Amino acid sequence: MKRFPTIWFFAIGLLVALAAIPVSLFFKAQSVLWEISVADESVSSRLFLPKVDLGTLTPEAVLPENFREDSPPGTKVDAPVVQAPALPSDSYQVPAKEADRLDVLLLGIRGVDDPYGGTLTDSIILASYQRSTGKSGLISIPRDLYITIPFQGVRSKINYAYALGRKLGGERDALELAKHAVQYVTGVQIDYVARADFTAFEQAVDALGGLEITLDKPFSETLQWQGEGGFSLPAGRQTINGQQALYFVRSRYSTSDFDRARRQQQVLVAFKDRALGLNILTNPGRLSELLTIAGDHVRTDMDFETMKGLLPIAQNANFNEVKNLVFDNRPGGWLYSTVINKQYVLLPKSGTFKEMRTDAQQIF
């Protein structure tokens, strides 16, 4: 099966192939691309303070009560409850730029208007592309990874970095702070960041007429969606709609966040396959619908010219092999789970992010 590194590499690339669409869509596409870009917004200098020693014990982030996520029922931890954890001792320096590599950070949130943790990043995926070979990779960062947020001197799960940026500044600040948090963990300089909410994901899947996925065994989530009778999918090849796709990538109670990260990567590939199969550029109705969805629910720090430049990358990428990397706490993994201040969190076993950085930097 052909694969593509990420939904937004592909989707944004499609949106800017303006010469292949009717004149009315030409102007709509330009308008939407300007709308979703926050590249021209200034970044607040107060977010990025002088160097903070990340090895020292720093205050835990004070989160609103409705931002504290409950652990899945029956969650087991690898280590006892920790009140004063030995935080990763790594220092943070902005990684050096790699000319042969393009890295885009993808963030999935519930929605900026959702008061119950709507700006916590539910999914964090780094999509990487090697220019010289066309190879690509997907790196999933667990949202429960416990870090000191760069420049802020507060401890929290990594999924709070975007929310903190919005709290202290605006959309551009949120994207920028999330980028630094992921750079701290991976040691990879991130070129661009894009975020989409659950509504965008669900509506985009429906706009494509659903996604085709293949399951080796039945999938069932009986705990997380009890109010709706649970959620299940049979084994085999099947087409799922937007709501089913959203439940499939969000379910974490009956499995784990790590399994969920793998399902998210699977659905990104299915989205690419569906969009290519439909030849979206020749379907003005569907393209217009996707443009509307993006304008309402997607934001990125790419500027207009950068987004146009993604189309050649999409055309030249080697889709036959994609390296998939999910950091987890399985035997042989780099992480372990514990509880800090009543929150389920993940920490590196070695006390540093050295192993994770090596894997991320050598993804190809």
Q: Are 109 and 160 in contact (CB under 8 A)?
A: no
pLDDT at 96: 95
Domain boundaries, the chain: 7-207+279-350
CB atoms within 10 A of CB 44: 15
CA–CA separation, 193 vs 308, rounded Å? Answer: 15
pLDDT at 299: 95
Measured CA to CA in angstroms, residue 142 lies from 21, 125, 126, 316 at distances of: 39, 9, 11, 30
Tell how far CA 285 is from the center of its chain.
Answer: 28
Q: Are 360 and 325 in contact (CB under 8 A)?
A: yes
Measured CA to CA in angstroms, residue 160 lies from 120, 157, 215 at distances of: 5, 6, 32
- Convert the pLDDT of each residue in 202-254 to its tens digit: 999 999 999 999 999 999 988 786 566 678 999 999 999 999 999 999 888 87
Query: What tokens appear for 81 in the block?
Result: 């409850």
The residues, ordered by sequence, that sit 6+ positions from 28 with a Cβ below 8 Å of its Cβ are 288, 291
- Convert the pLDDT of each residue in 291-311 to its tens digit: 888 888 999 999 878 877 776
The residues, ordered by sequence, that sit 6+ positions from 144 with a Cβ below 8 Å of its Cβ are 157, 158, 159, 257, 337, 344, 345, 346
- Convert the pLDDT of each residue in 184-193 to its tens digit: 999 999 999 9
Query: What tokens appear for 336 in the block?
Result: 């372990």
What totals of helices (H) and strands (E) does the chain contain, helices first? 10, 14
Per-residue pLDDT band for 340 (boundaries 50, 70, 90) equals confident
Element (H, E) at 344: strand 343-348
pLDDT at 289: 87
Beta strands 322-326 and 136-140, pairing class: parallel
pLDDT at 91: 84
Of residues 165 and 286, the one with the higher pLDDT is 165
Query: What tokens appear for 33 in the block?
Result: 């691309």
Measured CA to CA in angstroms, residue 244 lies from 212, 247, 344 at distances of: 11, 5, 27
We find that the CATH architecture of domain 7-207+279-350 is 2-Layer Sandwich (3.30)
Give the predicted TM-score (pTM) of the model.
0.85
pLDDT at 51: 54
Beta strands 211-215 and 236-240, pairing class: antiparallel
For the chain, what percent of residues have pLDDT higher than 70? Answer: 80
Q: Determine the straight-line distance between the first and last CA of the chain, rounded to whole angstroms.
A: 19
Question: Mean pLDDT across the stretch 147-152?
Answer: 90
